[in-house]
């Protein structure tokens, strides 16, 4: 151990504690215990904590630089279909691989070496390369590879332009759909991020595929108990029960009604932009009943009045505080005294966890943000509502924030 990392009792105690956790994890593996997503996350966090205990600033810098390099190498190897042209099992020579994709052998070898150095690929001999379990997902079109493309194509350029953006707009929190960091980086500051994306349908398709990889982190149902809504359904045959505001293709409503006996899907309402609703109408469904589908922009007046619940899930984090207040106020104005607004979002701890801190800064590029419960209380209060309860998911930071009229 370097002299600059002193073997203090604090460091030694931390290493002992982390070693014990790793030992227990190793025992579980030997005993054949199936690792749950929660336990996997804890194990990864333990390993990261071990590095953080002993890392020096120079080590941190090296890790950061390698992150840039590795991300770029993966993106090029995916774009040029290099990983796709490697055998799933077994090796291939760099020469043969370069010939398959029509690329330069020397440079493709150097890109692969980056992933070999980080354990994502493996080399046999001096000229044979092979996949590992960590590289195979990037050899095909799937949610994980789509998410990697988003990270590089949609966000990296925005981060690179951040210094110039703040030189231009001042050292303040980005807010609003116009003049976002992303729009600035792409040379169209007067357009919204959505308008920029929809200019290229392939970007929209890749985004949709990538987002599907995150659904396990944000459960569609099972966090909030809708049984009281089912009981109230019989009181009035024409009162809307659950309005899913910005509900995309309706998967959330279907999951809620499937998990809540007595909650009829045809008494619920799916709202989104016309082009999204058009897709939803054309989709097949296992359920014979379908929700009412309404073209709607949640920045404008809420067309469905007096519903029992207005649900808005994973939308508000895309917008500034001012825009969120406007969105929530439209719902508040449509509510009856017994109506509820349910906000499905990540609730930041203070300080936030590693993944939520990352997502928060990603959202900053489009003028959005994650929020603490105090942040939600602020925007809710300004919209004429108040938080009555917070229902947390069993794992992670996702919650359903229950609101009522103030």
What phi and psi values does residue 56 have, to the nearest 5 degrees?
Answer: -100, 165
DSSP string, 162-201: HHHHHHHH-SS---SSSS-HHHHHTT-TTS-HHHHHHTSH
> Which of 131, 317, 330, 391 is an active site residue?
317
Token match 């949640």: residue?
298
Q: Report the DSSP pairing between strands 340-348 and 371-372.
A: parallel
Element spanning 101, H or E: helix 94-101
**Distance (Å, whole) CA 70 – CA 65:** 9
**Distance (Å, whole) CA 192 – CA 7:** 52
- Tell me if 53 sits within 8 A of 46, measured CB to CB: no
Hey, is 341 helix, strand or coil? strand
**Distance (Å, whole) CA 356 – CA 263:** 33
299 is catalytic: no
Which residues have a catalytic role annotated?
A: 317
């Amino acid at each position: 151990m370097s002299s600059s990392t002193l073997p203090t009792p604090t460091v030694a105690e931390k290493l002992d504690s982390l070693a014990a956790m790793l030992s227990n994890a190793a025992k579980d593996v030997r005993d054949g215990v199936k690792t749950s997503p929660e336990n996997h996350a804890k194990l990864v966090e333990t390993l990261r904590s071990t590095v953080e205990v002993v890392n020096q600033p120079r080590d941190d810098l090296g890790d950061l630089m390698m992150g840039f390099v590795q991300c770029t190498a993966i993106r090029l190897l995916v774009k040029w279909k290099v990983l796709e042209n490697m055998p799933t099992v077994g090796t291939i020579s760099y020469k043969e691989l370069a010939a398959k994709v029509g690329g330069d052998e020397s440079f493709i070898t150097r890109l692969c070496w980056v992933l070999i150095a980080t354990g994502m690929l493996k080399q046999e001999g001096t000229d044979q390369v092979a996949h590992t379990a960590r590289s195979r997902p990037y050899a095909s079109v799937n949610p994980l590879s789509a998410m990697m493309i988003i990270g590089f194509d949609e966000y990296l350029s925005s981060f690179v332009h951040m210094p110039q953006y703040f030189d231009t707009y001042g050292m303040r929190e980005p807010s609003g759909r116009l003049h976002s960091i992303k729009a600035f980086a792409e040379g169209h500051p007067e357009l919204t991020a959505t308008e920029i994306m929809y200019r290229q349908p392939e970007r929209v398709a890749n985004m949709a595929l990538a987002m599907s990889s995150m659904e396990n982190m944000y459960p569609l149902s099972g966090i909030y108990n809708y049984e009281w809504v089912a009981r109230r359904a019989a009181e009035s045959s024409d009162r809307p029960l659950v309005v899913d505001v910005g509900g995309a293709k309706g998967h959330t409503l279907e999951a809620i009604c499937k998990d809540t006996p007595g909650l009829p899907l045809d008494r619920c309402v799916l709202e989104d932009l016309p082009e999204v609703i058009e897709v939803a109408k054309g989709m097949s469904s296992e359920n014979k009943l379908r929700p009412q589908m309404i073209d709607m922009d949640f920045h404008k007046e809420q067309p469905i009045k007096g519903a029992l619940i207005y649900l808005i899930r994973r939308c508000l984090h895309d917008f500034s505080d001012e825009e969120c207040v406007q969105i929530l106020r439209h719902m508040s104005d449509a509510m009856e005294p017994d109506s509820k607004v349910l906000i499905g979002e990540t609730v930041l701890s203070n300080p936030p966890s590693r993944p939520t801190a990352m997502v928060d800064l990603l959202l900053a590029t489009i003028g959005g943000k994650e929020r603490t419960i105090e942040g939600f209380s602020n925007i809710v209060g300004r919209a004429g509502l108040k938080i009555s309860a917070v229902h947390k998911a069993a794992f992670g930071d996702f919650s359903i924030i229950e609101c009522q009229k103030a």
